[in-house]
Amino acid sequence: MNAQAKVLVVDDEAVVRACYLRILASRQCQVREVGNGPDALQLMDSQAFDVVLLDQKMPGMDGMELLRSIKARWPATEVIMITGYPALESAKEAVLLGAYDYLAKPVGPDEVFHAANNAMAHKRWGLQQGTA
């Protein structure tokens, strides 16, 4: 991944956001973070993101609802759903809604970076193929 990759971290836990931000910023990504779905949508209205790291369980607008909105409005944005409550049904739902990947917390630094990097590579491939 390079400095051109724009990543948004959406999680209601500040410590999780800070951890992901530190991991990705150290790998030369442009990273922003917000604590809820409405703030994510507001930020995405004003700035494009290549990849969104998205917590599944958040108060108010949950991750699945936000995933639906993101894919409806910005279909080329790759979304990685991250959850502390992994379940086969929610993984299926996330993929059907357009998530690129589904990770179970806790996720290590390498796993966060590799998931975001792979999502960015997938997006670039889609753009080259004219499908994104």
The Cα 31–Cα 87 span in angstroms is 28
Which residues are CB-neighbours of 20 under 8 A, at least 6 positions away?
Answer: 9, 11, 31, 33, 53, 112
Structural domains of the chain, count: 1
pLDDT of residue 3 exceeding 60: no
Amino acid at 30: Q
Q: What is the pTM of this model?
A: 0.91
Q: Residue 1's pLDDT band (boundaries 50, 70, 90)?
A: low
Q: State the DSSP H helix or E strand holding residue 88, giving kind and residue range, or none if neither.
A: helix 88-96
What mean pLDDT is reported for the chain?
A: 92
| Segments forming the whole domain that contains residue 19 | 6-59+71-119
Q: Is residue 126, in this structure, part of any structural domain at all?
A: no
CATH number, residue 48? 3.40.50.2300
pLDDT tens digits, residue range 43-78? 999 999 999 999 999 999 999 999 999 999 999 999
Q: Is residue 66, in this structure, part of any structural domain at all?
A: no
Q: Is residue 65, in this structure, part of any structural domain at all?
A: no
Q: Is residue 22, in this structure, part of any structural domain at all?
A: yes
pLDDT at 132: 53
Q: Is residue 89, in this structure, part of any structural domain at all?
A: yes
Answer for the pair 74, 98: CB distance below 8 angstroms, yes or no.
no
pLDDT tens digits, residue range 72-122? 999 999 999 999 999 999 999 999 999 999 999 999 999 999 999 999 998
